[in-house]
Amino acid sequence: MILKSNTSSDSFQREHRALCRWAPALGASAPQLLNVDEDAQILLMPAVTGHPLQSLTLTGQQERRAYERAGALLARFYDTAPGTALPAFGAERAAYIRTQLTDGTHPLTGADLSVLDEALHLLETLPPQRAQPSHLDFTSRNVLWDARAEVGVIDFETSRYEAVGRDFLRITQRTLYHRPDLRTAFYRGYGRDPDRAESELMRICTVTDAAAIVVTATARGQHPFATEARSILTAAVRAWPAPAPGTAIPHGRRPL
């Protein structure tokens, strides 16, 4: 059993909502809520079978199978509830990013700031976005793999209705652009590659999200997060304005 206390009240509310509304349709592939103490903000659930992909040593074939199944699981998650629309997503997301920069922009460089300014403008001028239930931390630390070759997903504390495409962002930045074979397997399982609108959203948010994390993680002394985000931002700035679809790496540097 897992007895979970979230990192904030907002995280608790998001996870509680996801476990009530969306996780039941995933069955054993996701935590199933057994009980909740809303005053203490504690959730009780059975453990999902398996270990995080990032902690496992697998053969190339096993990895490809795992990521293909992960893509299929993400597609199932999106089908747990009807889609909707977010008319002001871009403007609201840009405003949120700007709040993360209010304490200053150290250690962003001039090139970082120039590209960030353009990316924020593009974000603010996006048309209304299609939205769906989204995990928003769908990465190898939260995707589980077990001996029966089954996948599961945990940690729904960032989950909410979000613009289609943003759920691809973290797994792309952390794994898929390093491993074209896993990218192919993941989207084969998902059923398709990101479309033009999803790729454009990822291109913009790669810059805006990474820049915000560089600033906030540096200010908080969270050096591993800052280093990871700096690597992502540097690649995106170097590639701007034309990274390969769905990645922060330009076409000329890495075949996809």
- Per-residue pLDDT band at 241 (split at 50, 70, 90): confident
Residue 97, pLDDT above cutoff 80: yes
132, 186, 227 from 159: Cα distances, Å:
10, 20, 25
Structure confidence by residue, pLDDT tens digits, 194-219: 999 999 999 999 999 999 999 999 99
Amino acid at 167: D
Structure tokens of 23? 């996780």
Residue range 99-124: average pLDDT? Answer: 92
- Identify which of 31, 67, 61, 59 has the alpha carbon closest to the alpha carbon of residue 145: 67
pLDDT of residue 252: 36
Residue range 4-31: average pLDDT? Answer: 95
For the entire predicted model, the pTM comes to 0.89
pLDDT of residue 105: 86
Structure confidence by residue, pLDDT tens digits, 128-157: 999 999 999 999 999 999 988 899 999 999
- Per-residue pLDDT band at 253 (split at 50, 70, 90): very low
Q: Which helix (H) or strand (E) holds 52?
A: strand 51-52
Alpha-helix residue ranges (DSSP H) falling in 37-155: 60-78, 89-100, 110-124
DSSP one-letter code for 176: I
- Per-residue pLDDT band at 242 (split at 50, 70, 90): low
Count CB neighbours of 2 within 10 A: 12
pLDDT of residue 245: 46
Residue 3, strand partner residues: 44
- Per-residue pLDDT band at 249 (split at 50, 70, 90): very low
Residue range 231-238: average pLDDT? Answer: 93
Residue range 67-95: average pLDDT? Answer: 96
